[in-house]
Structure 1
Amino acid sequence: MGKKTIHVSDFSGTAIQLDDEVVRVVVLEHPDLVAGPVRLDATPVEVEGIDDAALDVAVVEIHDRHGDGEPRRVVLTASEFDAMATDVPMTQLLKTAERVRPPKARKGAERVDYGTIEHAGRPHRGRVTEEEARLVRERLDEVNKRLADAGIRQIDLADPEHAARYGFPTAL
């Protein structure tokens, strides 16, 4: 018995032949995109007009009191944005405006405090504090239930590494 794989265009559902070129389209932003970028496959004919349909846009961040300190990202046509400059043409304004450095990449979100019941027992590379070890020893069932609910490995007392990490007695 043999198997045959048929590739189809995500746009039209038509079959893409083995010798046809497949164009990969990565959707980075879209109002209906909820879980990050996605990949779509298409034929060259299906995407040949995409450059002609492209819009000249301005992408801006608004830093104001709205949004709990987080900037709002707004996309508008370049002509709409240009019209906002009434004193000096936008092209000149953009040439002379103060440069902004891109934000530094954060090395991680906020530091996680593993010495709290919400995070105790979660895998991490740092050393286990006495507070985390005490929480794990005193509330092992609660910690393991939380870990299991989150799909994370549970603490196994039969595992000598886990026992030593959290200060459980080990059998000799």
Structure 2
Amino acid sequence: MGKRTVHVSDFSGKVVHSADKVVRIVVLDHPDLVAGPVQLEAEPTEVENIDDAALDVAVVEIHDGQPGEAPRRVVLTASEFDALATDVPMAQLLRTAERVRPAKTSRERIDYSSLEHAGKPHRGRVTEEEARLVRDQLDEVNKRLADEGIRQIDPADPEHAARYGFPTP
């Protein structure tokens, strides 16, 4: 028995007879989009004029300095945005403006000395707090590790014994 996938255009409801003819459209922003980007499928003929309908726009964020408020994102036509520059042409202004560097993302540090994370494999050294927690609550730690599909800690394993301070056999 085999399986057959039928692609249907999200725009028109028509069956797209050839899978290699399906066009995928990712909607990144739309006033009715509430839970992040979505993808739609369509026939190539349904979206062939989409580039002709495209607008030249400027997408800007307005940081007005209000404490605790996120910046506002505004989309306007490029010509409306260009008209804001009255001293120097916008093209020149954009070429000489200060570059914005993306904010560094800080990786959240995992606290391996907590029951939630103790015993998980990691590259750092095992702190005395983590080792004590693993020794004192080995059954609970191993149950959580097994539930998460992670290797369990075996006190008879010389590597685990050394890492978590179990007596060596």
Give TM-score, length-normalised by structure 2. Answer: 0.66
Shift of 1:10: 2.8
Task: Give, in whole Å, the separation in 2 of the partners of 1:15 and 1:125.
Answer: 51
Corresponding residue number in structure 2 for 1:138 = 136
Task: Give, in whole Å, the separation in 2 of the partners of 1:57 and 1:46.
Answer: 23
Corresponding residue number in structure 2 for 1:72 = 71
Alignment of 1:17-166 (within 5 A): 17-18=17-18, 21-30=21-30, 32=33, 34=35, 37-66=37-66, 68=68, 72=71, 74-77=73-76, 78-98=78-98, 100-103=99-102, 106=105, 109-117=107-115, 119-140=117-138, 152-153=148-149, 156-158=152-154, 160=157, 163-164=160-161, 165-166=163-164
Shift of 1:121: 3.6
Identity, in percent, stands at 62
Say what the alpha-carbon RMSD is for the aligned residues.
3.8
SS, match of residue 60 in structure 1: strand
Give TM-score, length-normalised by structure 1. Answer: 0.65
Shift of 1:109: 1.7
Cα 1:143–1:85, aligned 2, differ >3 Å: closer, same or farther? farther
Cα 1:130–1:12, aligned 2, differ >3 Å: closer, same or farther? farther
SS, match of residue 91 in structure 1: helix
In structure 1, list runs of 5 or more residues that go unmatched. Answer: none
SS, match of residue 40 in structure 1: strand
Q: Deviations over 1:62-115 (max 9, x none)?
A: 44534648x6261311234334334444334223323x1532664x52333323
